[in-house]
A and B are shown apart, each in its own frame.
Chain A
Amino acid sequence: MNPEELLYAKTHEWVRIEDQDGGKLAVVGLSAFALEALTDLVYIELPEVDRQVAAGESFGEIESVKAVSDLYAPVTGDIVDVNTELPDRIESLGDDPYDSGWIIKIRITDESGLGELMDHTAYQKQCEEEGD
């Protein structure tokens, strides 16, 4: 997946919106920038399928040697799928963050927050500012 075609949350999750059964599905992962900043990943805590999440709510956590970070839902909806392969190969998540590195899929139940997400250009600007 081309990172330039994705949307991003301020908290560094990427989102790919897909049409599904007349509704919208959000595929969610963590950006290369965030994974690069974390490095040395040791653990990821994933949510249960069917859990409801609100945009901005923590749905899991990712732990590196140095620190733990929350993972935040970028959209509001029901978690319909979880990438259960990730915990066993967490150290390689940074190798392919935008395809095999997807973390959860959320069936969007409220589209009102989608406008808060950034396009790639705006997200890059945020990363540059954080990098300073």
Chain B
Amino acid sequence: MSELLTNAFSVVSLASVFVLIALGLHFTFGLLGLVNLAHGEFLLLGAYIAYAVQEASGSTVAGVVAAPFGAALIGLVVERALLRFFYERPLDSLLATFGLAVIIRQGVQLIYSAVPRQVRDPLRGSFDLFDVNIPRWRLLIVVVDVLLVAGIGALLSRTRFGLRARASVRNPELAETMGIDVGWVRAFVFAIGSGVAGAAGALMAPISTLDPEFGLLFLVNSFLVVILGGVGSLYGLVAGGVVLGCSLALLQFAIPTVLAQIVVLVIAVAGVRLRPFLVERAGLSPARP
């Protein structure tokens, strides 16, 4: 029983990691339509901001809190200076964000070298609940995940900014002529996406090895989650994260990790093919919220 519960927590934990790393992409790829190959590098920035603040102040918590704000600010500058010229130009945006990713990665390597760094786990260790050993930091990731999804859902569906953002994304020309400054709305949407990616990076850092390649580990899985869940759908993204996370976690019990990842990729491809039918049968709109 205890082993079953421990494994169940592992599954939930991995699913929440999948959701977490893909959440920022919901804004930049899902809403803005930018094929953002630099998404992983915003996770990287978040992780290194957490590390830098930790080293400067001695507080890892301060670093983790600072990470989303730092990443959001960098995202805002990058959108205004570079990416705003690439909306509705998917191939060009692919190239631009690839270049941006290389610049960020090499920039981080220039400053911190390729030597692995350590963001300390401020909650240290685990506790037992019903004979289940629960690592505190992984539990925090699950809790933050739930709060972030609820917060983003509320932001997009219940606030003035959310309504403007959805309007700007779905019909930019009409939104602009209705008094919405679409350029700045897009910039803030990108900044929020970057900030969420930064938060994800900072949360993943204590349970990962931090080096300049850190972001690359998450890029493919992030896109898989968003594409499987349905581009532009927050709840779809959560479903995609849960399906992929659970699949990988369960498969890892039975087969080697590399083989499990291949099977997960096959599941993702099959899911993308089947999703329109499933969405139609469930009577869901593919673009909410």
Are A and B physically bound partners?
Answer: no
